[in-house]
Amino acid sequence: MAQLWGGRFTKETDQLVYNFNASISFDKRFYAQDMKGSMAHVRMLAKQGILTEEERDQILDGLNGILKDVEEGRLEITSEYEDIHSFVEAVLIDRIGDAGKKMHTGRSRNDQVALDMKLYTRDEIKELNHLVKEMMEVLLEMMEAHLDTYMPGFTHLQKAQPITLAHHMGAYFEMFKRDHERLIDIAKRMNTCPLGSGALAGTTYPLDREYTAELLGFDGPTLNSMDGVSDRDYLIELLSALSTIMMHLSRFSEEVIIWNTNEYKFVEIDDAYSTGSSIMPQKKNPDIAELVRGKTGRVYGALNSFLTTMKGIPLAYNKDMQEDKEWVFDAIDTTKGCLALFTGMLKTMQFNKERMAESARHGFTNATDAADYLVNHGVPFRDAHGIVGRLVLLCIEKKIALDDLPLDEYKEICPVFEEDIYEAISLKTCVNKRLTIGAPGHDAMAQVIKICQDYLSAYEDGVSE
């Protein structure tokens, strides 16, 4: 049992207690961040005269050697150590002797683990934003390619009005843009360094916390040492942001699943992102979309579990906080996997343009435009609404679209109708004359696409200027 404490105890920790208390099985994940933090701490100690330059160099060489050996597979992080901190310190002492025992001067595991988690989370946010960017790039490509791909828009899962696939995909672009901005906000808000907070009340050593923060790329040190070691708000914010990303992916998945049904046949999912049935040879199932939809609950669960853990914890650090890691690690892994898979599925998905346009036509999505035609010819809107309702009933009875109803039957219900009604209710006219951002549909989408292009071009390593 490699531990960083024990002098006050007279007998060994029970093995079950040790196993229950240990975190090495999961916190070994941020071994690189732990050593990065220790290197900055040691440089600061030497700058302040707390360590000699020789001791600093010995420790830094030792840490670099450990890091290289772990990364190249020559050194294994095993369960004989209580946590990643005791692993690094024990191996360092074993390799360089007494100088290694001085590395922990002026800090506690409380501020050390708070630092490690911040460094890890900051790195993961960059990766998450890279994946969000890839999703947005695919959506933008679809918007550019489908300006004239017509489909029904829905409310209440009922066909409502005609739109373009570009317009539909643009809605998801906006969702993921907000997700990107949320992650950026979290990264900015969490970017203060807790190292130097000690266990909770700071330290008597003359530390230069500003210098440590600068070495590690933080905006500055945390201002309150008690909050520094016990703050997990940024993880709750991250889990909330990941839950929102997963909610957006789940909504998107639900639509892909519906569009993939035999009843709709709007999309053809690539074989690489589909599975079959063990008994029904004709089946091609949208399992990736279904799994993404299902894994959303897993990320929600992490957020709810962590909120429940944190709600009853007094200041400052408590062992309960060890529970943050597995939930956060799992939620990050799940969201990253879902983003990557969904983006790949979306990139290879084929759209049945003719089927989508026919669905819009036969779903009476142009009924509002027929009513607007009457209003533009002097008929009060409420009367026009009723007239078009009667036309729809007639078309349902005849099993035809409004576009296919003869003019004499239009005029029988309302003599105001003329030959130009067919142009007024064509999908192209319905979509392109409707105002969205203050411009007609096609023009508006061109403006939106330019704005989206500009947004992505400002994106650099997960940070948008």
- Show which residues are catalytic: 156, 277
Q: Are 16 and 7 in contact (CB under 8 A)?
A: no
Alpha carbon 367 to its chain centroid, in Å, reads 38
Of 455, 449, 423, the closest CA to residue 437 belongs to 449
258 neighbors 345 (Cβ within 8 angstroms): no
Distance CA 110, CA 118 (A): 13
3-class DSSP assignment, residue 10: coil
CA distance 375 to 212: 70
CA 310 from chain center: how many Å? Answer: 23
Under 8 Å between Cβ of 222 and 279: no
Strands 158-164 and 350-351: unpaired
Q: How far apart are CA 462 and CA 85, in angstroms?
A: 29
- Token code pair at residue 345: 């599925």
Alpha-carbon dihedral sign for residues 210, 216, 222, 228 = negative
Cis peptide before 90 (omega within 30 of 0): no
Nearest-angstrom CA–CA distance, 112 and 30:
12
Amino acid at 383: D
